[in-house]
Amino acid sequence: MRIIETPADWPADEAAALAVQDRLRARVILDEPGPPVGEGRVTGVDVAYDDERDIVAAAAVVLDAAGLDVVEEATAVGRVAFPYIPGLLAFREIPAVLAALSSLSGEPGLVVCDGYGVAHPRRFGLASHLGVLTGLPTLGVAKNPFVFSYDAPGPRRGDSAPLLAEDGEEVGRALRTRDGVKPVFVSAGHRVTLDAACAHTLHLARRFRIPESTRRADTLCRAALAAARAAAA
DNA sequence: GCGACAG
DNA sequence: ATCTTGTCGC
């Protein structure tokens, strides 16, 4: 496990973070189809926090896209870099995620984030931000619709409905990954189209509502946090 | 002006 | 995100 420091130039407050989003969002690429579904590697990333002790733990779990077996895992622990502010989640999660990704020995391939990409008030959510910083293709799968509206998709796995911004733009999709179960909210991050993001999500979420990549990363970052707590005590 | 609001 | 046991169901 690698111990990280928050980047020295990381925004210190809300105004600085907003300025960074304004500067970086022009670099998001949305006209590339992205990697084919079921080939190569897919990496799930997730983060867990202990704000009491000011500890953050991130995990990156690399899967073989064909069989969804784990190829490699990495974690990183550090101090919380930013408070949780809706719309600025990336500043809280990304330093630890970058550290976990950088300690992988192999290529991550497609990165699946727990949150949004372009489905964001300023079209620059966590997944897009991570994509721009790393150059990797990314997508976001969130468990809640955030500030967007949608009509209920059909009841079957694979059914979807547009996730709409206030101006009517389709910024993502409410996608049913299991029959009769609450949909997940998918959006493109970087170098992946929305259609491709949904196809990857369906491939990764065959057995459960949440993609296998995210579930694996979630379990691993919680374990890393527990270990860091024990070490701190 | 106040509240809601990914994790 | 996090605080948290048992329990209903495939």
Which pLDDT score is estimated for A182? 93
Q: Is A159 annotated as a binding residue?
A: no
Sheet holding A41-50, edge to edge: A2-3, A70-78, A55-64, A41-50, A110-113, A138-142, A184-190, A170-175, A160-164
Q: Which DSSP letter does residue A211 get? A: -
A219 CA, C5 C1': Å apart: 20
| pLDDT in the model for residue A9 | 78
CB-strand contact A48/C, under 7 Å? yes
Which nucleotide is at minimal CA–C1' distance from A48? C1
Q: Mean pLDDT for each 10-residue chunk of chain A (233 residues)?
A: 62 94 95 96 97 95 96 96 95 96 96 97 96 96 92 94 92 95 96 98 95 96 94 79
Task: Answer yes or no: is A114 a known binding residue.
Answer: yes
Å between CA of A181 and C1' of C5: 24
Give strand letter and number of the nucleotide nearest A21 (CA to C1'): B6
Q: Which residue is nearest to nucleotide B4 (CA to C1')?
A: A147
pLDDT attached to residue A65: 97
* Domains detected in chain A: 37-232 (3.30.2170.10)
Residue A49, CB, strand C, below 7 Å:
yes
Give the pLDDT confidence of A183-200 residue by residue, as tens digits.
999 999 999 999 999 999
pLDDT of residue A4: 54
Confirm if A40 and A200 have CB atoms less than 8 A apart: no
